[in-house]
Structure 1
Amino acid sequence: MADLIPCDRQPGWGCLGAGLVLLAVAAVVALLASWLMLRLAGIRPAWQVAAVVGLLSWLWGELSDRAYAWSAPTAWLPLTSAALFALAAVLTAPRPLSWRPRIALLAAGALLWPLSALVGDHRADASRRSELAAVGVPLFAPDVAGYRIEHPITDTYGPWFGFRLWPKRDGVDTNDPNGWTVHVTVAPVQPSFQPPTCDTIDLGSTVRGTSCEQVATDTWRTVNPYSLFYFVRREGFVIVLSTYGKHVTDADLRALASTLAVRDPDFFLH
């Protein structure tokens, strides 16, 4: 947007403010254009239909987001637009024969709200499950009893796979992710992974684990003032467990490293 409008140099909200103004202007223009087309087509009362179409369009967008269905085919756009206008015409009919059609339509719209969330959760899980299955590295993970898994990430070009663990115990400050989370990353062994130099990937960032000491079979550790890394080599891959705070201890990471195993994609979706 800054290439078209020099919004980044404006005081106040900058590009965000300009974007909100453009959205408001677009909504008003769309409302006026709809009213004009309906009036020219002889539909009365045109302004009520246009206003309800605007509300229904917003509702349709919200339902699409909740249903994880942003990539509907472009060919559907005329059909959905026609359906929204037809629905608005029914809801705003001046002298309906019965209120039952309106009540039925409103009830259907109310049911679509929770249904769209269920569909969205299912589609999101299916998409993430497919990404995990296709990442190209084994899905190593520790026993997560006492933790919850957050933000599984896949990178098929690396390839690498990772996620974060939050401790499930009293006193955990969720506003301090760097102090409390454990990062887990699985990536192929790098040529430069030659202990005591443990070069590898930590959630997409290159880590140069200098002076890593061996603490168990195929397991090394690097301790820094504000970070702690465990490197576990398995089957041509390195699993990195890292933390960047003082709340997760060496004993915590050692216990997690000792329970590493290949997991099913569904393991990361709960």
Structure 2
Amino acid sequence: MSVVTLLGVNVVNNPAKFTDKYVFEITFECLESLEKDLEWKLTYVGSAQSDSHDQELDSLLVGPIPVGVNKFAFEANPPDTSRIPIDELLGVTVVLLTCSYDGREFVRVGYYVNNEYESEELANNPPPQPIIEKIRRNVLAEKPRVTRFNIKWDSEATAPAEFPPDQPEADLVADEEEYGADELAEEEAETAEIEAETGGDTAMDGVEGAEVDNVDEDELSDDGSVDIEGESDDELEEEEGEGEGDVADGDEMEVDDKPAPAIGQVPPVH
């Protein structure tokens, strides 16, 4: 169980100019006293092609942390445009808000950010050299992607079973009060609806079970797989032709914004 739970993040100045600071109002709950401060960071993804263009916009130490619900404001500088490829200044990118304890990251919130010109004229006819002061950013605050990691806190009792492990994937079971829990419940409901419509066969779509049942034992290899070498070239070409044109749709982040309650202030320590 996590000692610190993220309850809400509010993007204060949104939309804003590309050159404006990022301002986040963060609410979290602490279940027990902590020996060290929490470290918050904001990272801007400068390119989808390489993480070498990622920029840490700012970091902040918050503490000492009182037990209970706390809220504070986190301001971060805008990205350095000289470190972003010119052809990726406009369009959609990502900012990552992370929090670590004693050097161990335990929560990450990702937001899509859309950068576009303020005027329709520039948007339709962008100049070869981007005009930074004319670019507006819009953080899709209502659609975050929240990822949680199990870490060791102050006591050994809080350590994961195989500590220190590589950072695990997102915690699949989110508490109802945690930031992002509504989004997870929404995704699970959509999955259940799809399975109900398809009879629960979505994971095996396109697999013909009857054909496997009728395979002769002589056609099975030692490991139980089917030997397809005996199939004719015409049959293989026909199967390949049937598979052409199948395109998988991309997944979208679907979440609901959960406003932060008005709670007391936690003093940041730099």
TM-score, with normalisation over the residues of structure 2? 0.21
TM-score, with normalisation over the residues of structure 1? 0.21
Higher relative contact order (CA 8 A, sep 6+): 2
Kindly indicate which of the two structures has a greater share of residues assigned to strand: 2
Larger radius of gyration: 1
